[in-house]
């Protein structure tokens, strides 16, 4: 393990502890939250380093006593046996982690091939993530949505947040970052009169939610258009030009929102999504330049680029990236996602420990 890296991180931990102890930091809740998140990330490392240091001190003391009293020899052997475990744990914590692990996320779900059936499946995925968030004690917020005629969703943006500072720095991103890609469904659609099984797909994009300090956006590089909302809605939703479309000219990224009644609210929501997309784009460019771990998530709803299949006749869910298969699709759609997410997380952990900081996502 790198003693230099360990020393640097422990020094950072001590500095953050001092900052959080200063009441002045809480005058700026944004700063306090960022510092608190980073501190939470380093708590497990500090604890593991302290346990290892204490074990080494205990071993030295036991061996010294054993030189005078043989009865301490067994105790020294017992302590010595714990050192490799503690060293491995600390070495694992020293592996550079995903810089976004403590962040909240914005999940975008888009219907793809399959028409109305694809929109219904996109609605199923929306409910799956919402229910999983409820199980984790997270907070969800639909930023924007376009519903389909039969109760599905054509396109939806869902914000998912932790309450307070996530323990160990493990925020929503640390769990849901695996979900980006094409999700394929095999079942008999409600629109199918002959009982035939159809295959359709929906695309999922998971973005770490960016704070204003994470991304600098020049207002002069934005084109903002307003238009009348479409689809079902309450009073004033479809009768005023309240919908907003923002185009980021340098990148060509386009975001639109129409859920809120006021133009200002829709603009604020669209800016949230734009910041998240720009942060993800910047991270992808940095990763590509450094040949780093994170690969771009699938952005086209093409069934050939699937990451996961949901087979209703067999009650089966299969994640094609790691060969994971389980026959509890009904429970997964009800929000019990931990089985597949744990498998993906373990595959990534094993790759990082093996010196390959990359999880093949396709």
Residue with tokens 């060293």: 87
Whether 175 contacts 341, CB under 8 Å = yes
Q: How many angstroms separate the Cα of 74 from the Cα of each of 57, 77, 333?
A: 16, 5, 53
Across 18-25, average pLDDT? 90
> What pLDDT score does 233 carry?
45
Q: Which residue has the higher pLDDT, 183 or 350?
A: 183
Q: pLDDT of 113-128, one tens digit each?
A: 768 899 999 999 999 9
Average pLDDT, the chain: 85
Residue 240 has pLDDT above 70, yes or no: no
Of 47-51, 157-161, 179-183, 291-295, the least confident: 291-295
Q: Where are the alpha helices (DSSP H) in 238-291?
A: 263-290
Q: How confident is the model at residue 159 (pLDDT cuts 50, 70, 90)?
A: very high
- d(CA 213, CA 109) in angstroms, rounded, equals 26
Residue 108 has pLDDT above 80, yes or no: yes
- d(CA 3, CA 210) in angstroms, rounded, equals 32
Q: Which residue has the higher pLDDT, 107 or 296?
A: 107
The reported pTM is 0.76
Residue 186 has pLDDT above 80, yes or no: yes
DSSP, residue by residue, 300-334: S--GGGEEEEEETTTTEEEETTTTEEES-HHHHHT
243-248 β-sheet, strand order: 222-227, 243-248, 253-257
DSSP, residue by residue, 32-74: HHHHHHHHHHHHHHHHHHHHHHHHHHHHHHHHHHHTT-GGGHH
């Amino acid at each position: 393990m790198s003693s230099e890296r360990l020393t640097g991180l422990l020094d950072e931990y001590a500095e953050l502890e001092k900052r959080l102890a200063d009441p002045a930091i809480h005058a700026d809740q944004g700063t306090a939250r960022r510092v608190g998140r980073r501190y939470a990330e380093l708590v497990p490392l500090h604890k593991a380093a302290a346990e290892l240091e204490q074990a080494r001190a205990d071993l030295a003391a036991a061996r010294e006593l054993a030189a005078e009293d043989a009865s301490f020899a067994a105790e020294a052997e017992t302590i010595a046996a714990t050192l490799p475990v503690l060293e491995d744990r600390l070495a694992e914590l020293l592996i550079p982690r995903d810089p976004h692990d403590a962040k909240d996320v914005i999940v975008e779900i888009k219907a793809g091939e399959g028409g109305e059936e694809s929109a219904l499946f996109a609605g199923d995925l929306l409910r799956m993530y919402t229910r999983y968030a409820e199980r984790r004690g997270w907070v969800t917020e639909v930023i924007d949505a376009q519903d389909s005629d039969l109760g599905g969703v054509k396109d939806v943006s869902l914000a998912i947040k932790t309450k307070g500072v996530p323990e160990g720095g493990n925020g929503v991103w640390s769990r849901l970052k695996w979900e980006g890609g094409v999700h394929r469904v095999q079942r008999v659609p409600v629109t199918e009169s002959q009982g035939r099984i159809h295959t359709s797909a929906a695309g999922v994009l998971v973005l770490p939610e960016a704070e204003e300090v994470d991304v600098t956006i020049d207002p002069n590089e934005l084109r903002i258009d307003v238009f009348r909302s479409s689809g079902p809605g309450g009073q004033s939703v479809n009768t005023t030009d309240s919908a907003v479309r923002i185009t980021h000219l340098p990148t060509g990224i386009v975001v639109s929102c129409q859920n809120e009644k006021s133009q200002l609210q829709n603009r604020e929501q669209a800016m949230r999504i734009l910041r998240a997309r720009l942060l993800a784009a910047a991270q992808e460019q940095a990763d590509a330049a450094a040949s780093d771990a994170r690969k771009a998530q699938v952005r086209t709803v093409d069934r050939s680029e699937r990451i996961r299949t949901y087979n209703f006749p067999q009650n089966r869910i299969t994640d094609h990236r790691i060969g994971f298969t389980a026959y509890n699709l009904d429970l997964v759609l009800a929000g019990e996602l931990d089985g597949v997410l744990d498998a993906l997380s373990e595959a990534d952990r094993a790759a990082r420990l093996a010196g390959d900081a990359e999880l093949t996502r396709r």
